Amino acid sequence: MEAVENGVLKNFLMSRMPNKYFDHSNGHGRRQPGLMATGRQGNLIVTSTNMVPDAELRKKFIEEIKKQGKPYGLYFDDIQGGFTMTERSMPQAFQVLPVMVYRVYADGRPDELVRGVDIVGTPLLSLNNIMVTGDTMQVFNGICGAESGWIPVAAAAPAMLFSEIEVQKQHKGTERPPILAPPEPSHASSSKTPSKARS
Amino acid sequence: MKMNRKDRQLRLNFYMAVAAIVFLSCGYPDGAQQNKKKAEDSSKASASNGASDKTAASSDPVIRAMREELERSKSQVKMENVAAPYYIEYRLSDVTEYSAEATFGALRQNQLTHGRGVRVVVRVGNYKQDSYYGPGVGVVEFAPLDNDDIALRRQLWMATDRAYKMASEALAGKKALLSQYSAEQPFDDFAKAPALQSIEPLAKLEYSAEVWEKALAKSTDLYRSDAKIQSLWARATFRSVNEYFVNTEGTITRQGNTWYLVQLSGETQAEDGMRLGRSPFYMTAKASELPDPAKLESDTAKMLETLKRLREAPLVEEDYRGPVLFSNDAAGDVFFGMIGNNVLGIRPKPGDSARTIGKFSSNYKGRVLPAFLSVVDDPTMKSFQGHTLIGNYEVDEEGVRAQTVAVVTDGMLVDYLLGRMPIRDFPDSNGHGRAAPGQAPGPNIGVLIVKPKDALSTEDIKKRLIALCKEANKAYGYYVETLSGYEPRLLYRVYVNDGHQELVRGAVFNELDTRTLRNDLVAAGNDPLVSNREGPVPSTVIAPSILFDELEVKRTDKKNAKLPEYPPPALTPGR
Output phi, psi for B172, to 5 deg.
Answer: -65, -40
Measured CA to CA, the distance from residue A161 to residue B76 in angstroms comes to 52
* Three-state DSSP string of B257-308: EEEEEEEEEEEEECCCCCEEEECCEEEECCHHHCCCHHHHHHHHHHHHHHHH
Average pLDDT value for residue range A49-70: 96
Asked if B2 and A84 come within 8 Å (Cβ–Cβ), the reply is yes
How far apart CA B121 and CA B166 sit, in angstroms, is: 10
Instruction: Look at A180 and B9 and tell me if their CB atoms are within 8 Å.
Output: no
Q: Do A87 and B1 touch (CB under 8 A)?
A: yes
- pLDDT of A198 above 70: no
Q: What does the alpha-carbon distance between residue B88 and residue B123 come to, in Å, rounded to a whole number?
A: 6
Closest partner CB to A142 (pick from B5, B154, B156) = B5
Q: What integer pLDDT is reported at residue A187 of this predicted model?
A: 54
Average pLDDT over every residue of B38-51? 40
Q: What is the pLDDT of residues B415-449, one digit of tens each?
A: 999 999 999 999 999 999 999 999 999 999 999 99
- Asked whether the beta carbons of residue A183 and residue B165 sit closer than 8 angstroms, the reply is no
* pLDDT-based confidence at residue B185 (cuts at 50, 70, 90): confident
What are the sequence ranges of the domains in chain B?
14-218+238-262
- Quickly count: other Cβ atoms within 10 Å of residue A9's Cβ: 9
Chain-chain contact of B6 with A142 (C-beta, under 8 angstroms): yes
Predicted ipTM of the assembly: 0.79
Query: Residue B351: its pLDDT value, please?
Result: 81
In the predicted structure, residue A7 carries a pLDDT above the cut 80:
yes
Angstrom distances, CA of residue B358 to CA of A89, A137, B343, B364, B499: 49, 66, 7, 12, 40
Of the candidates B4, B76, B149, the beta carbon closest to that of A144 is on: B4
- Residue among B3, B8, B150 whose CB faces A183 most closely: B150
Interface touch B7/A86, C-beta < 8 Å: no
C-alpha dihedral, A85 to A87 to A92 to A97, nearest 10°: 0
* Chain B environment of A185 (Cβ under 8 Å): 149-150
Distance between the two ends of chain A, CA-based, in angstroms?
A: 60
Angle at CA of residue B263, ends B558 and B567, nearest 5°: 55
3-state secondary structure of A8: strand
Tell me chain A's radius of gyration from C-alpha atoms. Answer: 23
Are residues B424 and B418 in contact, defined by beta-carbon separation less than 8 angstroms?
no
Cross-strand partners of A81: A97, B5
Q: Which residues pair with B260 in a beta bridge?
A: B238, B284
Cβ–Cβ below 8 Å for B6 and A81: yes
B72-85 pLDDT tens trace: 999 999 988 889 99
- Which pLDDT score, from 0 to 100, does residue B182 have? 79
* Residue A94: strand pairing partners: A84, A121
Q: pLDDT-derived band of residue B510, with 50, 70 and 90 as boundaries? A: very high
A189 falls in which pLDDT band (50, 70, 90)? Answer: very low
* 3-state SS class at A14: coil
Q: Please check whether residue B102 is in contact with residue B219, taking contact to mean a CB–CB distance below 8 angstroms.
A: yes
Judged by a CB distance cut-off of 8 A, whether residue B71 touches chain A is no
Give the pLDDT confidence score for residue B1 in this predicted structure.
Answer: 64
Per DSSP, B423 falls in state B
- A80:B80 CB<8 A: no
Write the residue in B68, B69, B161 that is nearest to A178 by C-beta: B161
- Indicate yes or no: CB of A146 within 8 angstroms of CB of B3: yes
Cβ pairs A/B, distance under 8 A: 84
- Average confidence (pLDDT) over B477-504: 96
8 Å CB contact between B209 and B32: no
Q: Which of B68, B77, B149 sits opposite A180 (nearest CB)?
A: B77
Considering all CA atoms of chain A, what is the largest pairwise distance in Å, rounded to the nearest integer? 76
Alpha helix ranges (H) inside B118-251 = 149-178, 209-220
Closest-CA residue in chain B for A148? B2
Q: What per-residue string of b and e applies to B220-258 under the rule 16 or more CB within 10 Å gives b? A: bbbbeebebbbebbbbbbbbbbbbbbbbbeebbbbbbbb
* CA–CA separation, B210 and B110 (whole Å): 11
Q: Which of B3, B68, B76 sits opposite A144 (nearest CB)?
A: B3
Q: Which of B225, B122, B133, B123 is nearest to B174 (CA)?
A: B133
Q: What is the dihedral of CA B538, B544, B550, B553, to 10 degrees?
A: 50
Residues of B in contact with A176 (CB under 8 A): 79, 165
pLDDT, tens digit, for every residue of B443-485?
999 999 999 999 999 999 999 999 999 999 999 999 999 999 9
Contacts A145 to B, Cβ<8 Å: 1-5
CA distances from residue B455 to A175, B324, B408, B525, B543 in whole angstroms, order as listed: 65, 17, 17, 5, 12
On the question of pLDDT at A6 being above 90, the answer is: yes
Question: How crowded is residue B297: how many other Cβ atoms within 10 Å of its Cβ?
Answer: 18
Q: Do B4 and A143 touch (CB under 8 A)?
A: yes
A chain contacts of residue B164, beta-carbon cutoff 8 Å: 179
Q: With CB atoms and an 8 Å threshold, state whether A153 touches B157.
A: no
pLDDT for residue A194:
41
Strand ranges, E, within A93-137? 94-105, 112-114, 117-121, 130-133
Does residue B33 carry a pLDDT above 60? no
Mutate to test the interface with B, among A180, A187, A193, A195 (most CBs of B within 10 A): A180
* DSSP letters for B497-547: TT--EEEEBSEEEES-SHHHHHHSEEEEBS--EEEEE-SSS-EEEEE--EE
- Name the residue of chain A whose CA is nearest to B65's CA: A186
> End-to-end alpha-carbon separation of chain B, Å?
48
Task: Answer whether B158 sits within 8 Å of A178, measured CB to CB.
Answer: yes
Give the gap in angstroms from C-alpha B191 to the nearest C-alpha of chain A: 28
Distance from the A44 Cα atom to the nearest Cα atom in chain B, whole angstroms: 13
Buried b vs exposed e over B157-179: b needs ≥16 C-beta within 10 Å?
A: bbbbbbbbbbbbebbeebeeeee
pLDDT at A197: 42
User: ∠B128-B133-B135 over CA atoms, to 5°?
Assistant: 140
Interface of B with A in 138-177 (CB under 8 A): 149-150, 153-154, 156-158, 161, 164-165
Taking any CB pair shorter than 8 Å as contact, residues of chain A touching chain B are 79-87, 140, 142-146, 153, 176, 178-180, 182-186, 189, 195, 197, 199
Q: Among partner residues A87, A145, A178, which is closest to B3 by beta-carbon distance?
A: A145
pLDDT at A186: 65
pLDDT at B18: 43
Number of neighbours of residue B560 by Cβ within 10 angstroms:
14
What are the chain B neighbours of A189 within 8 Å (beta carbons)? 68, 72
Confidence of residue A174 (pLDDT cuts 50, 70, 90): confident
Average pLDDT, chain B: 90
Per-residue pLDDT reduced to its tens digit, B76-130: 999 888 899 999 999 999 999 999 999 999 999 999 999 999 999 999 999 999 9
Determine what percent of chain B is predicted with pLDDT higher than 70.
Answer: 89
pLDDT higher than 70, residue B231 = yes
- pLDDT-derived band at B17 (thresholds 50, 70, 90) equals very low
Q: Which pairs count as long-range contacts for B508-512, CB under 8 Å and 24+ apart, including other chains?
A: B508/B553, B508/B554, B508/B555, B508/B556, B509/B324, B509/B551, B509/B552, B509/B553, B509/B554, B510/B319, B510/B552, B510/B553, B510/B554, B511/B551, B511/B552, B512/B334, B512/B486, B512/B551
Name chain A contacts of B157, Cβ cutoff 8 Å: 178, 180, 182-183
DSSP assignment of B306-372: HHHHHHHSPB--S-EEEEEEEPHHHHHHHHIIIIITTSB----STT---S-SSTTTT-TTSB-S-TT
- The closest of B519, B500, B502 to B511, measured between CA atoms, is B519
Could you tell me which of B141, B112, B122, B89 has the C-alpha nearest to residue B251? Answer: B89
Q: Give residue B464's pLDDT.
A: 97
CATH number for the segment(s) B14-218+238-262 = 3.30.2290
Q: How far apart are CA B417 and CA B429, in angstroms?
A: 8
Which residue did the predictor score with more confidence, B19 or B152? B152
Give CA–CA dist B5/B331, Å, rounded.
54
Nearest to B25 by CA among B95, B122, B117: B95
Nearest to B84 by CA among A182, A180, A173, A177: A180
Looking at residue B49, its pLDDT comes to 45
Contact indicator for A80, A122 with CB cutoff of 8 Å: no
CA distance B377 to chain A (A): 42
